[in-house]
Amino acid sequence: MAAPKRKRYNKKQRLAAAKKWIPKYEGENLVKGYSKWFGVDKICAINELELLGHEIDSEYKEQIYKLEIEKEDAKKANFDDPGDFEVEHFNTWQDSDYYFIAGYTSGGVPYGITWEEYERKYKEDEEFDDSISNDEDNDFDVPF
């Protein structure tokens, strides 16, 4: 379901609509009401209401600004570095015995590719790659 059209207004449209909406508003907190009605944050609501000629208490403005800064700081603090996620996430897929842990048995024993199997397969692949590169040096006649 799409958002109401008033929540998709740009600034110019909001200011025009707000001139009609403000006299009809019956709530106590005009900034909060504007913010919810038009789907903008409170800082934007304060700025636009001031453009329309409404005075907003300076203490209230400071309080809103501080809250927004605290919200941003909290988001930054809770955000983990993506590199940390990759290291943690991939470390659960291997240990000292297994190169890749595909899963665990019902008894909790891991199964997957061991380091020995990986190294053996890696050496086979290297030998295969070497043989392919040697074959590429030969010019074959194409039958068509």
Asked whether the predicted pLDDT for residue 44 surpasses 90, the reply is yes
Residues in the chain: 144
Q: What is the pTM of this model?
A: 0.54
pLDDT digits (tens, 9 = 90+) for 67-110: 988 988 888 877 655 555 555 555 677 888 888 888 889 998 99
**Closest Cα partner for 100 from 77, 78, 117, 85?**
117
**Closest Cα partner for 15 from 5, 2, 4, 6?**
6
Strands 98-104 vs 110-114: parallel, antiparallel or unpaired: antiparallel
Asked whether the predicted pLDDT for residue 123 surpasses 70, the reply is yes
Q: Residue 120: pLDDT band by 50, 70, 90 thresholds?
A: confident
Q: How far apart are CA 133 and CA 138, in angstroms?
A: 9
Q: How far apart are CA 126 and CA 132, in angstroms?
A: 10
More confident site: 123 or 64:
64
Asked whether the predicted pLDDT for residue 4 surpasses 80, the reply is yes
Q: How far apart are CA 88 and CA 85, in angstroms?
A: 5
H helix or E strand, kind and range, residue 103: strand 98-104
Cross-strand pairs, 23: none
Three-state DSSP class for 111?
Answer: strand
Residue 30, class by beta-carbon neighbours within 10 Å (0-12 exposed, 13-18 middle, 19+ buried)? Answer: middle
**Closest Cα partner for 37 from 52, 47, 53, 24?**
24
What pLDDT sits at residue 52? 96
What pLDDT sits at residue 125? 74
- The mean per-residue pLDDT over the stretch 27-51 comes to 96
pLDDT digits (tens, 9 = 90+) for 5-22: 999 999 999 999 999 999
Asked whether the predicted pLDDT for residue 138 surpasses 60, the reply is no
Asked whether the predicted pLDDT for residue 29 surpasses 70, the reply is yes
Name residue, tokens 């409404």.
Answer: 54
What pLDDT sits at residue 87? 55
